[in-house]
Amino acid sequence: MPTPETPSSRPASGGEVVVVFGGRSEIGLAVAHRLAPGRTVVLVSRPGGDVSALEAPLVEAGAAAVEFVDFDADDLDAHTTVVDEIESRVGPIDIAVLAFGILGDQEAAERDSRAAARILHTDFVAQAALLTVLAERMKPRRTGVLVAFSSVAGQRVRRANYVYGSAKAGLDGFASGMADALHGTGVTLVIPRPGFVIGRMTEGMDPAPFSSTPDQVADAVVERVLERRAGVVWIPWQLRVMFAVARLVPQPVWRRMPR
C-alpha cells in the first residue's frame, strides 16, 4: 500500500465519497447502488476476489467514479493504513458502511475455541476497531455518516447461534454507546438491526418470521443515511414490537421468535 499522504481535495467528478467495507456483500452492494448517483463509491474487500463485474452496474446507477481497495478486516493494524489509502486516492470519506462479517459454524465454535474467537473477532472486535478509526477521522471535520450492522440475533442470544449472537450483542452495545458519544460532533452513526435476511449468508436455512431481503435492508438504511438520523433502525419495524412483547412472555414462546 502507498505511504499515507494528506487527503486530496475532493475529486473534480464531485459528490460525496461512499466507502463500503465488505464491498462484495449483498447488503453492502445494495446500499452502494442506492447511494451511487453523483457520488464516488469505494468497494473495500478481501484481496483475491474478482470485483471486475461490480463496476459497470454502479456506473449505470450514476456513480461519478468507482474504486476498489483490498482490505482484511481482521488485520487491525492495517485499518488506519487502508483509510489513509482511500482518502489519499479519492478524498475524505463522507459515508462509511461496515458490511463485512461472518455467520460462522456454531457447532464448530462450540468445540473449537479458535473457531469461536474468529467469529467474535470479525463480527465484534474488528468492527469496533474500524468504527473507532473512522469516527476519529470524521470528528475533526464535524461531518460524516457511519453505518454499523447489528442484528436481532444480539437482542437476546439464543442457543442455536449464541457465538454469532453474542458478537452482535457486543457490537450493538458498542455502537449504541458510540452513537451517544458522537452526539453534537456532526458525525452520525446509523445502527441497522435487521432480522433474518434471505441471501447468500443464510442460504439453506429456513427463513424466520418477518424475514427481509438485502434490498429491503438497503432501502431502510439509505433512508436513514440520507436523513442523517442516528440510532437504531429495526428491519422490518414490526420486530421492534415483537421484541418488546417478548419481554412479557415465557421463554418457550420466545424461542420460536426470529433469529
Q: How far apart are CA 161 and CA 101, in angstroms?
A: 14
Instruction: Read off the C-alpha cell for 59.
Output: 456506473
Residue 164 falls in the annotated catalytic set: yes
Looking at residue 14, the DSSP 8-state letter turns out to be -
Closest alpha carbon to 235 in 194, 199, 190, 197: 194
Q: How far apart are CA 115 and CA 164, in angstroms?
A: 11
Phi and psi based region of residue 228 (left: phi greater than 0; alpha: psi -120 to 50; beta: remaining): left
- Parallel, antiparallel, or unpaired: how do β-strands 65-70 and 95-98 relate? unpaired
Catalytic one among 124, 164, 196, 210? Answer: 164
Which residues are part of the catalytic machinery? Answer: 164
